[in-house]
């Protein structure tokens, strides 16, 4: 078994056609056929089956694919890291970030980094915190920046770079803005704007409602934080939201906020990376830039 054969398994799963796999690898189709037959003979099991001109993985093939993906990702990562030693000022970095750090922390950091290293390609993927952690586990990204409650996950190294406080936000026209004290009972009667699952904010809100036996009278579930802020401005609802995400709206006097009553849960912004990944000079420089920016702000 060699790396090429494992890469073929990954590509067959993705494209189902040997002609496409051959094209992606820059070889002829008979070469692909030879390698898949050789791999099956080597392992002594059937890995592929042909149906209607398309190749599908058998159960044994699916099991092999699970490990082939991990090995393929590690191989590509190793090539990328060693290439950075060849030329420090060229390369590529893939960052996974949850919405708050991606929107309110990374833009300036990425801008400054690109000014310093214009030939390094940066890809930023905006996903939920659970999705980012899974992508790191699978070696699909180089590093992650997420907003999350404190966590302990095997194989992932984390650094807490700044707090990300959740607050109760509403429009300046909302009647909460005129109250000196907002109780749990007051909150329970309001229309609540919710983040979709999976979401760290949603998870913490669920823990809070269960701890205080709260059931909201009306709920609106949203996939977009920007949409949530726009709806809040109309005065029709409240939301548990990152204070970082509404700082501009607060400055423009469009939204107000109060601390969440009896809310004892922490949330921070973390940089995270896989402990098996070699942090090159480029990655280390970027991590240092992110941490420095967060500390100043």
Three-state SS letters, 91-125: EEEEEEECHHHHHHCHHHHHHHHHHHCCCEEEEEE
CB 238 within 8 A of CB 168: yes
| CA proximity to 255, closest of 165, 168, 171 | 171
In this prediction, residue 85 carries a pLDDT of: 58
Per-residue pLDDT of the chain (297 residues; tens, 9 = 90+): 788 889 999 999 999 999 999 999 999 999 999 999 999 999 999 999 989 889 999 999 999 999 898 888 888 777 776 776 565 566 788 999 999 999 989 999 999 898 888 888 899 999 989 899 999 988 889 999 999 988 888 889 999 999 999 999 999 999 998 888 999 999 999 999 998 777 788 889 999 999 999 988 888 998 888 999 999 998 889 999 999 999 999 999 999 999 999 988 889 999 999 888 777 778 888 888 999 888 876
Task: Give the CA distances from residue 148 to residues 28, 123, 205, in Å, rounded to whole numbers and listed in that order.
Answer: 48, 22, 12
Q: Which domains does the chain have, with CATH numbers?
A: 3-70 (1.10.10.10), 87-163+268-296 (3.40.190.10), 166-259 (3.40.190.10)
Query: Would you state the pLDDT for residue 53?
Result: 86
Which pLDDT score, from 0 to 100, does residue 151 have?
86
Q: Which two tokens stand for residue 99?
A: 């919405």
| DSSP-derived pairing of the beta strands 91-97 and 54-57 | unpaired
- pTM recorded for the entire structure: 0.68
φ/ψ of 250, rounded to 5, equals -65, -45
The whole-angstrom separation of Cα 105 and Cα 251 is: 18
The pLDDT, as a whole number, for residue 290 is 92
Contact 12, 55 (CB under 8 A): yes
Dmax (CA) for the chain in angstroms is 77
Query: How many CA atoms are closer than 13 Å to the CA of 255, on its beta-carbon side?
Result: 28
Task: Report the distance separating Cα 290 and Cα 177, nearest Å.
Answer: 35
């Amino acid at each position: 078994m060699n790396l090429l054969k494992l890469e073929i398994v990954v590509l067959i799963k993705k494209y189902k056609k040997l002609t496409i796999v051959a094209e992606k690898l820059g070889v002829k189709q008979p070469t692909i056929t030879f390698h898949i037959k050789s791999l099956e003979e080597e392992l002594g099991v059937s890995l592929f089956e042909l149906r209607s001109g398309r190749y599908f993985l058998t159960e044994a093939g699916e099991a092999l694919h699970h490990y082939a993906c991990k090995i393929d990702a590690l191989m590509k990562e190793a090539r990328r890291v060693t290439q950075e030693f060849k030329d420090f000022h060229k390369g590529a970095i893939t960052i996974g970030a949850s919405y708050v750090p991606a929107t309110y922390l990374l833009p300036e950091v990425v801008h400054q980094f690109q000014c310093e290293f214009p030939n390094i390609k940066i890809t930023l993927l905006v996903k939920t915190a659970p999705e980012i952690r899974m992508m790191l586990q699978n070696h699909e990204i180089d590093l992650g920046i997420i907003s999350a409650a404190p966590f302990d996950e095997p194989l992932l190294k984390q650094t807490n770079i700044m707090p990300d406080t959740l607050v109760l936000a509403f429009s300046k026209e909302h009647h909460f803005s005129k109250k000196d004290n907002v109780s749990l009972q007051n909150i329970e009667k309001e229309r609540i704007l919710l983040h979709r699952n999976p979401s760290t904010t949603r998870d913490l809100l669920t823990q809070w409602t269960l701890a205080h036996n709260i059931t909201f009278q009306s709920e609106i579930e949203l996939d977009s934080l920007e949409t949530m802020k726009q709806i809040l401005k109309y005065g029709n609802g409240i939301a548990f939201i990152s204070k970082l995400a509404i700082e501009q709206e607060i400055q423009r006097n469009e939204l107000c906020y109060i601390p969440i009553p009896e809310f004892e849960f922490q949330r921070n912004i973390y940089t995270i990376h896989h402990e098996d990944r070699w942090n090159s000079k480029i990655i280390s420089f970027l991590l240092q830039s992110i941490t420095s920016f967060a500390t100043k702000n």
